[in-house]
Amino acid sequence: MTVAVLLVLGLVAAWSVLIPGVDAWENIMVAVIGSLRLTGPVAAAFACWVALRKRRASAGRAFTTWQAMKVPLAIMVVTVAAFAATALLLAANSMLNEQAGRLAPSGLAMGMAGLALYVAIGWVAGWLLPWIGTPVLAGLGCYALFSRLADGGAWADRLAPATREPYDVFQGLSASAFTDQTLWLVGVSGALLLGWAALVTRQALVLAAAMLAVLAAATGLARLVSEPQTVSAQPVVYSCQEWPITICVHPGMRSGLTDLGAAFTKIASRLSGTPAEFTRVEQHPRRTGSGQGPGVATVHVDDLAAGFADEAAAEFLDGLAAKCRGARGSGYRGIVMAWLRGESLPVGPLPEHQFAAAWFSSLTEAQRRDWLRLFYSDFARCALRAEHFGGGPQVHADSPHGGPAPEQSAPSVPVVPQPIPPTAPAEPSPAPEPEPVEPTPLPEEPAPKPAEPTAEPQAPPEEPPQRAGEPQHPRDYRHSSPSRQDRHDDGGTPENR
Alpha-carbon distance of 105 to 103, in angstroms, equals 6
- Residues with Cβ within 8 Å of 377's Cβ and at least 6 positions away in sequence, in order, are 275, 383
Phi, psi angle pair for 253, to nearest 5°: -120, 25
Report the distance separating Cα 156 and Cα 132, nearest Å. Answer: 32
Please check whether residue 349 is in contact with residue 367, taking contact to mean a CB–CB distance below 8 angstroms: no
Half-sphere exposure of 91 (CA within 13 A, CB side): 15
Taking only the tens place, the pLDDT of each residue in 101-135 is: 677 788 889 999 999 999 999 999 999 988 888 99
Q: What is the DSSP letter of 254?
A: G
- Check residue 453 and give its pLDDT: 44
Residue 459 has pLDDT above 50, yes or no: no
This prediction has a pTM of: 0.68
Mean pLDDT score across all residues of the chain: 75
Q: pLDDT at position 451, please?
A: 44
CA distances from 371 to 266, 384, 417 (A): 17, 12, 7
**Is the model's pLDDT at 458 over the cut of 80?**
no
Query: Is residue 269 pLDDT above 80, yes or no?
Result: yes
440-449: pLDDT as tens digits:
444 444 444 4
pLDDT at 311 over 80: yes
What is the percentage of the chain residues whose pLDDT exceeds 70?
A: 72
**Domain residue spans of the chain:** 2-226, 239-318, 327-402
Which amino acid would we find at residue 203?
Answer: Q
Length of the chain: 497
The Cα 139–Cα 122 span in angstroms is: 8
